[in-house]
Amino acid sequence: MKRARVVHEGLTHDAVERDGQLLLGDGRLLPFDAVTWLPPISPTAQPRTILALGLNYADHAKELAFKAPEEPLVFLKGENALTGHRRFTRRPEGVQFMHYECELTVVIGTTARHVKRDHAYDFVAGYTVANDYAVRDYLENWYRPNLRVKNRDGATPLGPWLVDARDVPDPMALALQTTVNGKVTQSGNTRDMIFDVPFLIEYFSSFMTLHPGDLILTGTPDGVVDCRRGDVVVTEIESLGALVNTIE
């Protein structure tokens, strides 16, 4: 099932996809453009922790002229960094290089502590798409993204859907693609991750508790390009949907 959170007529609604439209909890069917999209996060399972991976695809590490990491490179994000489908993300004045990052995002469904990789998927509620924009001008160094790079308000679109885990039989075999103004600029597959989803859940839960609603953004493949004001960026993952964002 594809779930969403939207605003319509001033009220927030949970919705599901039904025949190319949104079915609200009150039974109304609405077209996608009749609502304001929010990140698909349940109000009863807000993320306590948002974890994001850097250089989790060998080709992306090579693209940036760095050796692939031997241990996950991880940073934290705040919830204010998230925004929804069809929303706007600001490119700061004077910036020379700001790029998208199409990322499979894991949504934790059950409290996880000391989970073994063979049982990791039992703790996943579902998956969604993130576009984790980065402003390279602000980077302190490639191995330590600072707050202005990755934690700016509204700099991480998420959505449009939360797709139930049972509807994604193999999250480690999903095609990823990004287009900028309709031109394909990035293509990849989740099978090429250095640290896969079961590894990450085992790794994180070995030293911290993962709670329902927590997010793990799993990194991006190569093919990132500079995005300018007015660019329409679509980050799409097979089975999960296409997340649209415009730079302002």
Mean of the pLDDT values across residues 153-180?
Answer: 98
Question: β-strand 87-89 against 241-247: which pairing, if any?
Answer: parallel
Lookup: tokens for 134: 């980065």
- Convert the pLDDT of each residue in 98-110 to its tens digit: 999 999 999 999 9
CATH 3.90.76.10, applies to 42-247: no
Four-residue CA torsion sign, 55, 59, 61, 63: negative
The phi, psi pair for 151, rounded to 5°, reads: -130, 30
Residue 42 is predicted with a pLDDT of 85
Domain 1-38, CATH number (from 3.40.50.920, 2.30.30.370, 3.30.300.20, 1.10.940.10): 2.30.30.370
Q: Which residues contact 246 (CB under 8 A, 6 or more apart)?
A: 87, 88, 89, 230, 231, 232, 233
Q: What is the mean pLDDT of the chain?
A: 93
Domain 1-38 and domain 42-247, same fold? Reply is no
For residue range 191-232, what is the model confidence (pLDDT) as tens digits?
Answer: 999 999 999 999 999 999 999 999 999 999 999 999 999 999
**Environment class of residue 120 by beta-carbon count within 10 Å: exposed (0-12), middle (13-18) or buried (19+)?**
buried
Residue 123's contacts (CB-CB under 8 Å, 6 or more residues apart) are: 108, 109, 110, 111, 112, 115, 201, 205, 210
Nearest CA among 246, 240, 72, 228 for reference residue 154 = 246
What pLDDT does residue 136 have? 87
Q: Tell me what pLDDT residue 58 has.
A: 78
Q: Rounded to two decimals, what is the model's pTM?
A: 0.94
> How far is the C-alpha of 104 from the C-alpha of 174, rounded, in Å?
9
Confidence label for 54 from pLDDT (cuts 50, 70 and 90): confident
Domains of the chain, residue spans: 1-38, 42-247
User: Which pLDDT band, with edges at 50, 70 and 90, does 157 fall under?
Assistant: very high
Condensed to tens digits (0 to 9), the pLDDT of residues 74-130 reads 989 999 999 999 999 999 999 999 999 999 999 999 999 999 999 999 999 999 999
Cα 56 to Cα 44: distance, rounded to the nearest angstrom = 30
For strand 124-131 and strand 98-99, is the pairing parallel, antiparallel, or unpaired? unpaired
**3-class SS shares of the chain: helix, strand, coil, % to 5:** 15, 40, 40
C-alpha to C-alpha distance for 51 and 209, rounded to whole angstroms: 12
Q: Does residue 46 register a pLDDT over 70?
A: yes
- Rounded distance between C-alpha atoms, residue 215 and residue 75, angstroms: 12
